[in-house]
Amino acid sequence: MCRRAQHLNEINRNQRYGTMVNFTGINAPASLRDIDRFEENNPTFAVNDFKPVLSEKGEELKTHKLDPLRISEYNYRREHLVDLILFTQGEEGLTDRRNINDVPEGLNTHYCLINGEAGWHRIMRNWNKHHDHKYFCRHCLRAPFSRLDLLEDHIAFNCHGRNNPYAGQREIFPKKGKHISKFTNIKALLKAPFVIYPDNECDSNKLDEKEEDKNKNTVKTQKQVNNSFGYVMIQNDSDIISNVFRRTANSVEEKWKNMQEDLQMVKEILQNPVELKMTTSDWEKHNSARKCYLCDGLLQEVRYNKVKYYDNETQVFIGMDNNIDTSLLNPKHSETLLQR
């Protein structure tokens, strides 16, 4: 029989560690920055820090689900690997603060040691329905390995944390009903009314070698001087609105001046749209539309107004749209007509 350890709260039990490790400059309570300093003082230790995950109601801590708080860049490269869980108790959590190293007054913190692979097994036993021994990679925190040799092979060949020491993560699967990612930035789905394709040409003039540059690692050998510019402005129906090419010594200033003049022309076009022309096929598409052209949502849903969506410059009919989506657009760049 093993005799149960007694007097765990007595300080003299930990006095022997004072000669084994260097605690110089470590504050109490210790922050994550102090752990960085501890690793600098003790080159044989790698320290990881985790935090327990709150339940959905935020009432209890689930230690069988841990999130990485600090992943050491020296994992599996130093003799001693130390894993800690940081528990906090107070009105404000440590991870809620902008600076996680700033421990506020009144916040109780406690570091709990995970005692090797056996400690990991006890904590993460309920990770899944397989309750046998589990081995976890400190970098990935991915689904556990059933054998130690599988973990060692993963660390040696497959662990993405070998090249990215701060790549700690934990797999979080989406919940039912929230498992679909949908693009909601409607403006980014549309073509720009006008597109400018610019170009600049330069002369490469060789620079003379200087005596002071001989001992420098990076030396300028050429100087780029603008000699000409050009750009093409195209409307979204592929019509070329402006086409400018010019060789001049002051190409940057003249290019900017020409583009400002073209901008005034673009504003006039947008402010005076052409009358909408609906063909027979357009009306068939209009009447049979069941989904929004922009967001692919159903047009029959409650409080969705069915509107025509068309090109503001050419007034060519494109498709049907929800008034909710169209309201997100800039009114200067689109016009909508409610179907009565």
pLDDT score recorded for residue 332 = 38
8 A C-beta contact, residue 136 and residue 161: no
Query: pLDDT tens-digit profile of 5-50?
Result: 556 556 666 666 667 788 888 887 788 888 888 999 999 999 988 8
CA distance between the termini of the chain: 88
Neighbouring C-beta atoms of residue 211, cutoff 10 Å: 6
pLDDT score recorded for residue 231 = 92
Q: Which residues of the chain have pLDDT under 70?
A: 1-18, 54-64, 90-106, 142-143, 160-173, 299-340
Question: Would you list the domain boundaries of the chain?
Answer: 19-162, 192-270, 280-338
pLDDT score recorded for residue 335 = 37
The encoded tokens of residue 148 equal: 């130690």
Query: Does the CA dihedral 146-150-151-152 come out positive or negative?
Result: positive
The encoded tokens of residue 221 equal: 């050998």
Place of tokens 């506020």: 104
pLDDT score recorded for residue 232 = 92
Closest CA to 94 of 139, 127, 49: 49
Query: pLDDT tens-digit profile of 214-235?
Result: 788 888 888 888 889 999 999 8
Strands 317-322 and 336-338: unpaired
One-letter amino acid at 152 equals E
pLDDT score recorded for residue 72 = 85
8 A C-beta contact, residue 233 and residue 262: yes
The encoded tokens of residue 120 equal: 């990991």
Q: From edge to edge, which strands make up the β-sheet containing 240-247? A: 194-206, 222-235, 240-247
pTM: 0.46
pLDDT score recorded for residue 131 = 75
Query: 125-161 burial, b if ≥16 CB within 10 A, otherwise e?
Result: eebeeeeeebbbbbbbbeebbeeeeebeebbeeebeb
pLDDT score recorded for residue 50 = 86
